[in-house]
Amino acid sequence: MRVETYSDKYLTDVISLIENFHAEAVSEYDGVIDKAAIIETIKTAEHNTAFLLIINDVAQGILYGTMLRSPMNGGQIFQEFIWYVNKEFRGKGVWLLEEVQKYLKSSGVSIMIMAVLENSKTDKIKKFYERLGFKKMETHYVRSLNGLG
């Protein structure tokens, strides 16, 4: 078991992980999923922001986000978009998070932002993040703009 940043070797695995994440967690917010868009996003993204949990040479989990520059002090911020581990390996998700935090810290990242989806074990996840030292920062609201006139 190891953590690697994305490489095309794992493209099929990553597509599957993102499709699973969408079906399980975000489809009610955005019912549309486009495999071609997933591939384009993966291939053009900064690969040092896509971390994969590799078990038996298969990507079984992903923690993917983007790097931002703080407008307040110029520090590096990592904003998570997807943290997903296939069901049979869920117990390894915390290890993936911890390894990514170590990597980010050693790379000079000063802040890590993790999201909590309101349609999933919200209270449990919030308490989990607080135990790890995360603080609640803000609440986001989402609205699909498809079909609006």
Please say if the pLDDT value at position 49 is more than 60.
yes
Judged by DSSP in three states, 62 sits in strand
Of the ranges 30-39, 73-82, 132-141, the best mean pLDDT one: 73-82
Q: How many CB atoms lie within 10 A of CB 24?
A: 13
User: How far, in Å, CA of 144 to CA of 75, rounded?
Assistant: 32
User: Judging by beta carbons within 10 Å of its beta carbon (0-12, 13-18, 19+), is residue 137 exposed, middle or buried?
Assistant: exposed
DSSP-derived 3-state class of residue 66:
strand
* pLDDT average, residue stretch 8-16: 94
Q: Report the chain's terminal Cα–Cα distance, integer Å.
A: 49
The pLDDT-based confidence of 121 (bands split at 50, 70, 90) is: low
Q: Look at residue 3 and tell me whether its pLDDT is greater than 90.
A: yes
- Look up residue 12 and give its amino acid: T
Angle between helices 35-44 and 11-21 in degrees, nearest 10: 120
DSSP 30: -
Three-state secondary structure call for residue 41? helix
Mean pLDDT of 29-47: 79
